[in-house]
Structure 1
């Protein structure tokens, strides 16, 4: 019978004691049969995390949001830039709504408060490896509060600028770097219609180029980065 392939994990946290605790916990999962895992590296900074990710290509990264002079949000942005295809599970002491929202927005597959790691980590790992999102109730509440606040703010600005629903859709695809033809294909309209919408959007945002429109849209919160 073939031996079960172990899940490769990279630990990213600037506190040695916390990483030590994770090592013990993951070892317990191994010996107890709850999870077959292997720690392939440890990092205490964004730079180390990126280097080890490129070298080891772990299935899962357990990521803290406080990494000295940098932070986990920056790490996730950098991981996306190097096309990391594994999962990211955030383990953080931050329980503020904005931190939770930013982490999930930037690509985290789950979020666990550090004081809940002992009781939730095993289930969290199993969940994200199934390509599902892990948000325990206390975390989910914070995420949806921030999401609702963002949605309400965005909707208010759209109303103030008189952006139509279709113009908001065009603006979304514009910020994704799509050409007029690609936007037309995604929205099932003609390129000429997209051009007309862009003209209207430029007028309402008081800009003269696609780049300026994207910058203003991001600054006003009309779209997510």
Structure 2
């Protein structure tokens, strides 16, 4: 006897029909390979349509573009907040500038994914967000916390008590800059296996389990400069 999948209701908000079609294809693929199902309850091409459909359908998750002429995704986030929308919003955007990411997260988004990374990151992003966790891949998290430090003027806490070797600090610094294991190995003239060993040690000392968590914690603790 098969167990019914948990269904997550989703609203697509993007002004490009072809892009929405691509998202539908991806979600349908996930439906065939995931324990969680995704049900698209509506599509919107403008802020007004998004607000109307949110009021009518109460989606658990909104996949939101940052450009919705004549307005934008920030306006949509503010309008949704006014509605006391209690679902999650995941930004899917071509804008990769740090300030776009920062403004979106500040306005209430639960995650931010670059459109050119959707194929590799969308499923993880959705799964993370619907489990009440923020999703920021490494290349996005670095920029977000760079601006966070700029606007606050200081780190949230200090890194006292966490002792990293000089090499671990170098590896962590390149990690925060968004470098891959192969790029770190090339810049430090060490093997990829050695990079992985250093990352394992760094993760253990920071008490984290992923690259993104390491970046976030390192920046919060002021272990590296953003």
Superposed CA RMSD in Å reads 1.3
More helix by share: 1
Q: Which structure has the larger Rg over C-alpha atoms? A: 1
Which residue number in structure 2 is paired with residue 120 of structure 1? 121
CA contact (8 A) 1:76 1:106 kept: yes
In 1, the alpha carbon distance for the partners of 2:18 and 2:68 equals 14
Structure 2 unaligned spans of 5+: 155-226
Which residue number in structure 1 is paired with residue 11 of structure 2? 10
Which residue number in structure 1 is paired with residue 136 of structure 2? 135
CA contact (8 A) 1:8 1:60 kept: yes
- 1:135 match: secondary structure: coil
Which residue number in structure 1 is paired with residue 110 of structure 2? 109
| 1:5, distance to aligned residue in structure 2 (A) | 2.9
CA contact (8 A) 1:35 1:122 kept: no
- 1:125 match: secondary structure: helix
- 1:36 match: secondary structure: strand
| 1:33, distance to aligned residue in structure 2 (A) | 2.7
- Name the TM-score, length of structure 2 as normaliser: 0.66
In 2, the alpha carbon distance for the partners of 1:119 and 1:21 equals 14
In 1, the alpha carbon distance for the partners of 2:55 and 2:14 equals 17
In the comparison of the two structures, how many residue pairs are matched?
153
Which residue number in structure 2 is paired with residue 86 of structure 1? 87
Between stretches 72-81 and 27-36, larger displacement belongs to: 27-36
- 1:6 match: secondary structure: strand
Which residue number in structure 1 is paired with residue 57 of structure 2? 56
CA contact (8 A) 2:64 2:90 kept: yes
| 1:34, distance to aligned residue in structure 2 (A) | 5.1
- 1:50 match: secondary structure: helix
Which residue number in structure 1 is paired with residue 100 of structure 2? 99
| 1:2, distance to aligned residue in structure 2 (A) | 5.3
- Name the TM-score, length of structure 1 as normaliser: 0.66
Which residue number in structure 1 is paired with residue 165 of structure 2? none
